[in-house]
Amino acid sequence: MTEPLRLRITEIFHSLQGESDTIGYPTVFVRLTGCPLRCGYCDTAYAFQGGEWMSLDDIHARVRQYRTRFVTVTGGEPLAQKNCLPLLQQLCDDGCHVSLETSGALDVSGVDPRVIKVVDLKTPGSGEVDRNLYANIDRLLPHDQVKFVICDRADFDWSVEMLNRYDLASRCEVLFSPSFGQQDAAELADWILQDQLPVRMQVQLHKYLWGNEPGH
């Protein structure tokens, strides 16, 4: 008998999507345990270790308890567990609107094309800029999103350079987000307008509603 596919899960919860192009929609979040990065601003360090093994069927059953078709698979770094890929596929097969939040450090080529990939490009201020896998840029689909979490003016300038170098805005939506508690949001908005950038600015809605509380 073959063993059921399993994943190590930190939490599954229902909240409002705080970022990306479905911001504000009630969404089920599946947070996978583990991450090979250590960004300075990380707000989910509690997902680095621990968690509970769950079969894909059990995860699926939990997701279906909620009356929303929006599902976000996040972490940690969800792609660090290989069974993330069949989970994404199963959720899509079930008719869910599935997004994947990933650090941009791991290969996204195996991700089901129905999934909306929200791919970070780690800025210098994150402390993990050397982990960016730039080959992922050619794997972006028009419905995907590239996200920059900006810690300061140097991060902003670097992000503009990446925007231009890879012509990111012609590939998919580009999100600029201030690092919470580090970069003033209004200042970032002014910089975007001054430079007339083709990007979408976002603040993390869930943090304004609930702060850094896990499970939101």
Q: Which of 88, 84, 94 is nearest to 116 (CA)?
A: 88
DSSP state, residue 50? -
38 binds ligand SF4 (CB under 6 A): yes
Q: Kindly tell me which residue out of 90, 103, 123, 159 binds ligand SF4, with binding defined by CB under 6 A.
A: 103
**C-alpha triplet 17, 53, 37: angle, nearest 5°:** 60
Span of 17-25, 35-43, 54-62, 81-89 interacting with ligand SF4 by CB under 6 A: 35-43
Contact call for residue 35 and ligand SF4 (CB under 6 A): yes
The reply to whether 121 sits near ligand SF4 by the rule CB under 6 A is no
Which of the stretches 73-81, 151-159, 165-173, 177-185 binds ligand SF4 when contact is defined by CB under 6 A?
73-81
Q: Which helix (H) or strand (E) holds 18?
A: none
How many residues interact with ligand SF4 (rule CB under 6 A)? 10
C-alpha–C-alpha distance, residues 112 and 168, integer Å: 21
SS3 6: strand
* Structure tokens given for 40: 């300075």
49 is an interface residue for ligand SF4 by CB under 6 A? no
Sites of contact with ligand SF4 (CB under 6 A): 35, 37-39, 42, 44, 75-77, 103
